[in-house]
């Protein structure tokens, strides 16, 4: 159903007083009775200012290893967990989350060598297990179980790749949620680990040469004061990640012997991607300026590659694309003819071919033109076919095209509006596997095989079953509302079918809005607890900054236009109130990482519009984010305060610097992890300190301002199931208590 918001001005939106009185009867937290919270007495150093003269009184919290910071963390957690323990049904929420999450989960199968592989989690295993089988009908056996790597489940699989023959498996192990990885190699036939061990790998793929002798990868110099990625400390540091370099590792040699393949000492912030082509002839090397949707593209001819240990690799680089004008993603090649997905003069992407023997741009050929929908990915399979996935109004459509001509051959039907969450296929195999999900569709893995008796029809290969889940009790609608500047923005709304439309329902409003990331429909059993047991409506706003409508949609929410993202999110909440889905006191806004920035900025700008705000691992200090770990990679989206022009707009919305005194705020919960080396926890430390000092002392501030700091946890990748459930239970408990929600069995 399409809906449009009226042009009434909601900037002075007031809560429904009668409704607030009714809600207030359900929970003392929602009443107008002031409460004083015993926040830790966080030291403020008023003498610390930056180069712009902006006060930074909590800079001391940037040192994660100081005794003062550690004591502060302990005090904050004591306050937060004490508050959560007072909720009568915290344990009930936790047990219910365990119950609904306890079902088998699978990945798409994929073939490497002569064997099939897939990941499976029996239900509550901390990490998914990699299984193997000789055929799709054979009994699977465990190939690698990450749960055996640590007692608490905090060791997880990271980057990984089988060699071309399938004889070896290189895989990175991450610990405590850190992005740092140690790469090991496993022999497939015996199951034994080889002595090879590569440390300080981060943001790297693994690209095997087709002779199975070794692989290319990228690593950083070790940060100061840390000896190893395995000691438990790596990931808690805040040192900037610079000077990534590309190496080749030959099996059976030490990492110190790995020959250096490529580096850019004059451009220390660049990040590199490595990929060996389908035919094994070329190494493709992409250069990335952080998260910008552009890259340079170089290649090496591997025909005479004979690397000497620690010496000259004997390769000559060819600069195919040596500018920052567009992004190029390798699809496949036939000899010197290459297929790429690109946004070159095509913000919604297209397919082109480039012949290495005629590399001039004037010789490039357009194979599949840009369309009204966003070309999300392209996979070559069945030797001469392409599977092209598009985003149409935030939902997946999937087509098969001819490789050579680019002609569209057919459309692969989806079972409902939703998302192809995962897809696997290879050029030399005739089939595709794809994993379809939606908000009310737990998931089905489909097999599409051009050579099967089913012809052009995909068949269910494995259906995901969630015990006790009845999709018929819920409904999903997609609405469109008008943002502040007139832009039409889509939003999904999911709720029980009998949810009243009188403004009384609580709403969980989620957004992201950055880095061209599209938030498409997905299934979450956790959200089912919100909807089924706490009677919450879930809303997902597809705001600008994401990739739902291509690069123009992305750039409309970046740099000096970042305020559009916040306006879109605020507009979503206003639309939900205007159309009687909810009221301001019943809205919780939630977002993680860049979405945490979204929540922080919107909380500061419109504290009257929300009842609760949850910012997870958020980017919250916009004046200094680029100075820590990989923060410099985000400047294409945010800008950089070292630039005076960028500073002028960053200072206007930076959450840490825009807390409003003398203003009543909603309940606020920040979550972070002590090993988050993506968005370092100092962001959350500073913001909660500013909130508690400025707002917490305000006599009319009723709702709590708290932070939950997890140990042995990072940005989210590889988080064990037990910790994910505990964090979700605590988050939902905080929401339930502060919004005055009631539990329904």
SS3 of 578-646: HCCCCCHHHEEEEEECHHHHHHHHHHHHCHHHCCEEEEECCCCCCCCHHHCCCHHHHHHHHCCCCCHHH
For 243-293, strand residue ranges (E) read 245-250, 260-262, 271-276, 282-288
Written as six digits, the tokens of 582 are 């909810």
Cα-trace Rg, the chain: 26
DSSP 8-state secondary structure symbol assigned to residue 362: G
Residue matched to tokens 């939606």: 438
User: What is the phi/psi pair of residue 81, to 5°?
Assistant: -70, -30
Q: In angstroms, rounded to a whole number, what is the distance separating the alpha carbons of residues 457 and 399? A: 12
Kindly give, in sequence order, each residue whose CB lies less than 8 Å from that of residue 154, ignoring residues fewer than 6 positions away.
126, 175, 176, 177, 712, 713, 718, 720, 723
Q: What is the dihedral of CA 377, 301, 275, 266, to 10 degrees?
A: -110
Active site residues: 593, 676, 715
Q: In angstroms, rounded to a whole number, what is the distance separating the alpha carbons of residues 626 and 138? A: 50
DSSP string covering 302-328: -TT--PPTTS-----EEEEE-SSS--E
Distance linking the first and last C-alpha atoms of the chain = 31
Written as six digits, the tokens of 554 are 């992305």
Q: In angstroms, rounded to a whole number, what is the distance separating the alpha carbons of residues 188 and 468? A: 39
Written as six digits, the tokens of 138 are 């054979």
Written as six digits, the tokens of 290 are 């952080």
Q: In angstroms, rounded to a whole number, what is the distance separating the alpha carbons of residues 268 and 239? A: 14
Beta bridge partners of 275: 284
Q: What element of type H or E holds 68? A: helix 67-85
How far is C-alpha 327 from the chain's CA centre?
Answer: 20
The burial of 5, by beta-carbon neighbours within 10 Å (0-12 exposed, 13-18 middle, 19 or more buried), is given as buried
Q: Which of 404, 400, 402, 440 is nearest to 423 (CA)?
A: 400
DSSP string covering 369-382: ---SSEEEEEEEET
Residue matched to tokens 């939003």: 491
Q: What is the dihedral of CA 362, 367, 370, 376, to 10 degrees?
A: -120
Q: In angstroms, rounded to a whole number, what is the distance separating the alpha carbons of residues 167 and 234? A: 31
Written as six digits, the tokens of 544 are 């600008």
Q: Which of 267, 272, 270, 269 is nearest to 299 (CA)?
A: 272
Contact 396, 520 (CB under 8 A): yes
């Amino acid at each position: 159903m399409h809906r449009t918001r009226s042009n009434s001005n909601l900037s002075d939106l007031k809560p429904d007083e009668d409704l607030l009185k009714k809600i207030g009867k359900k929970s003392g937290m929602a009443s107008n009775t002031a409460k004083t919270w015993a926040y830790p007495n966080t030291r403020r150093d008023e003498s610390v200012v930056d180069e712009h003269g902006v006060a930074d009184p909590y800079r001391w919290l940037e040192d994660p290893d100081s005794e003062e910071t550690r004591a502060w963390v302990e005090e904050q957690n004591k306050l937060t967990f004490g508050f959560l323990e007072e909720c009568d049904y915290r344990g009930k929420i936790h047990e219910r989350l365990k119950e609904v999450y306890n079902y088998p989960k699978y990945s798409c199968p994929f073939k490497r060598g002569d064997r099939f592989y897939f990941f499976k989690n029996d239900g509550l295993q901390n990490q998914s297990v990699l299984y193997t089988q000789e055929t799709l009908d054979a009994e699977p056996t465990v190939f690698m179980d990450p749960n055996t790597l640590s007692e608490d489940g905090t060791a997880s699989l990271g980057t990984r790749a089988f060699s071309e023959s399938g004889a070896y498996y290189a895989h990175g192990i991450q610990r405590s949620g850190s992005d740092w990885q140690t790469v090991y190699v496993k022999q497939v036939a015996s199951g034994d680990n080889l002595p090879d061990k590569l440390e300080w790998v981060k943001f790297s793929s693994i690209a095997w040469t087709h002779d199975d002798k070794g692989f290319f990868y990228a690593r950083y110099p070790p940060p100061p004061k840390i000896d190893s990625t395995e000691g438990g400390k790596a990931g808690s540091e805040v040192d900037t990640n610079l000077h990534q370099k590309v190496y080749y590792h030959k099996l059976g040699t030490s990492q110190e012997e790995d020959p250096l393949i490529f580096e850019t000492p004059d451009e220390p912030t660049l990040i590199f991607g490595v990929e060996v082509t389908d035919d094994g002839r070329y190494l493709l090397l992409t250069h990335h300026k952080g998260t910008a949707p552009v890259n340079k593209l170089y290649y090496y001819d591997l025909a005479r590659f004979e690397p000497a240990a620690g010496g000259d690799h004997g390769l000559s680089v060819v600069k195919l694309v040596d500018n920052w004008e567009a992004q190029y993603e390798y699809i496949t090649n036939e000899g010197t003819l290459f297929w790429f997905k690109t946004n070159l003069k095509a913000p919604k992407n297209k397919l082109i071919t480039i012949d290495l023997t005629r590399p001039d741009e004037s010789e490039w050929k357009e194979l599949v033109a840009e369309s009204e929908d966003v070309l999300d990915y392209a996979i070559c399979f069945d030797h001469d076919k392409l599977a092209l996935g598009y985003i149409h109004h935030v939902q997946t459509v999937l087509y098969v095209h001819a490789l050579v001509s680019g002609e569209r051959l057919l459309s692969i039907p989806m079972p409902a509006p939703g998302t192809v969450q995962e897809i696997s296929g290879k050029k030399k195999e005739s089939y595709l596997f794809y994993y379809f999900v939606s908000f009310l569709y737990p998931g089905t893995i489909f097999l599409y095989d051009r050579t099967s008796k089913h012809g052009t029809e995909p068949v269910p290969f494995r259906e995901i079953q969630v015990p006790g889940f009845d999709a018929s009790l819920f409904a999903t609608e997609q609405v469109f509302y008008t943002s502040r500047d007139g832009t039409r923005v889509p939003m999904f709304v999911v709720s029980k079918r009998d949810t009243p439309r009188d403004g009384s329902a609580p709403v969980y409003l989620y957004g992201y809005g950055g880095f061209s990331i599209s938030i498409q429909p997905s299934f979450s059993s956790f959200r089912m607890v919100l909807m089924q047991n706490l009677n919450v409506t879930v809303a997902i706003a597809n705001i600008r900054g994401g990739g739902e409508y291509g690069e123009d949609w992305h750039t409309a929410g970046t740099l000096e236009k970042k305020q559009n993202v916040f306006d879109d999110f605020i507009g979503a909440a206003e639309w939900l109130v205007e159309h009687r889905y909810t009221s301001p006191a019943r809205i919780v806004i939630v977002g993680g990482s860049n979405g945490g920035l979204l929540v922080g900025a919107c909380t500061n700008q419109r504290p009257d519009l929300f009842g609760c705000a949850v910012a997870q691992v958020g980017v919250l200090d916009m004046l200094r984010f680029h100075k820590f770990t990989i923060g410099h990679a985000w400047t294409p989206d945010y800008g950089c305060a070292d630039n005076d022009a960028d500073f002028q707009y960053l200072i206007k919305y930076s959450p840490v610097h825009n807390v409003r005194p003398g203003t009543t705020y909603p309940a606020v919960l920040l979550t972070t992890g002590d090993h988050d080396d993506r968005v370092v926890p100092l962001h959350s430390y500073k913001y909660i300190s500013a909130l508690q000092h400025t707002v917490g002392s305000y006599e009319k501030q009723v709702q709590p301002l708290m932070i939950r700091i997890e140990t042995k946890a990072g940005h989210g990748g590889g988080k064990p199931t037990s910790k994910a459930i505990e964090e979700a239970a605590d988050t939902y408990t905080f929401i339930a208590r502060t919004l005055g929600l009631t539990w329904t069995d």
